[in-house]
Chain A
């Protein structure tokens, strides 16, 4: 149980284009999902908290107009990297926990990540 599916796993795009990444909770509902970014050989940095039915909450220093988040249903959140540039190349990974276990002390379940390369 508690499977999070992320798609695509890899994407290569040209500078200036936009890329959408999907994150789905397959067997549970998640009012809240989290988006992280990881540069090579670095830790995971939280970008934003995605909230179903309301605006996402962005961490300090993350441009909300650059990284558009939509949480359209209790099982789907999307991250769109708009007008991507080479510096946006990174590993993006989403996570969620079941609403039934919604608490700081229950583990987050992660998608397999999306490796974005902007040329």
Chain B
């Protein structure tokens, strides 16, 4: 069985600070993908990134970066120079092999204080 854990329920940082959101994914699968989604206060879900278990290189996209370490089952997401618009709930989500369902972690509510 697979298990995804986002231990940080809520985080608040002052604008322009860096912040890292943690995600730990436990599975017996040797090959897997993980997704990150953002849910702003308006409610829609925005796809941010997909990474596979073979790729442990950091991924950087503007102010966003992701660090995937298979040895620790962690897939962490860092926002540098945070902005108020980054305030949202961020979900880590692994898909289920054999079907197309997506299971979401409990989410981390990020608040950027101006």
Q: Which of A46, A109, A112, A113 contacts B101 (CB 8 A)?
A: A46
Chain B contact residues, majority secondary structure: loop
A60 within 8 A of B: no
Nearest A-chain residue to B6, judged by Cβ: A43
Query: Which chain A residues in 34-91 approach chain B with CB under 8 Å?
Result: 34, 41-44, 46, 49, 91
> Considering residues A44, A49, A110, which has the most beta carbons from chain B within 10 angstroms of its beta carbon?
A44
Chain B residues lying within 8 Å of A111, measured Cβ to Cβ, are 44
Nearest B-chain residue to A33, judged by Cβ: B100
Interface residue tally for chain A (C-beta within 8 Å): 25
Interface string of B83-94 (1 = CB under 8 A from A): 000000001000
B35 within 8 A of A: yes
Q: Are A104 and B91 in contact (CB under 8 A)?
A: no
Q: Which of B42, B52, B101, B107 contacts A49 (CB 8 A)?
A: B101
With contact pairs A43-B91, A91-B43, A112-B44 given, residues A107 and B104 touching in the complex (Cβ less than 8 Å): no
A102 within 8 A of B: yes
Query: Which chain B residues in 96-114 approach chain A with CB under 8 Å?
Result: 96-107, 109
With contact pairs A32-B100, A115-B43 given, residues A104 and B106 touching in the complex (Cβ less than 8 Å): no
How far does the alpha carbon of A41 sit from the alpha carbon of B33 in the complex, in Å?
A: 26
How far does the alpha carbon of A34 sit from the alpha carbon of B97 in the complex, in Å?
A: 16
B45 within 8 A of A: yes
Q: Are A105 and B106 in contact (CB under 8 A)?
A: no
Q: List 9 A-B contacts (CB under 8 A).
A: A42-B106, A43-B104, A46-B102, A93-B45, A105-B95, A106-B50, A110-B37, A112-B43, A113-B43
The 8 closest A-B pairs by CB, nearest first: A110-B45, A104-B95, A107-B47, A112-B44, A105-B33, A113-B43, A44-B104, A43-B104
- A sample of 20 more A-B contacts (CB under 8 A), given A46-B103, A93-B43, is A34-B102, A42-B106, A43-B91, A43-B104, A49-B99, A91-B43, A95-B45, A97-B100, A104-B33, A105-B33, A105-B52, A107-B35, A107-B47, A107-B50, A110-B44, A111-B44, A112-B42, A112-B43, A112-B44, A113-B43
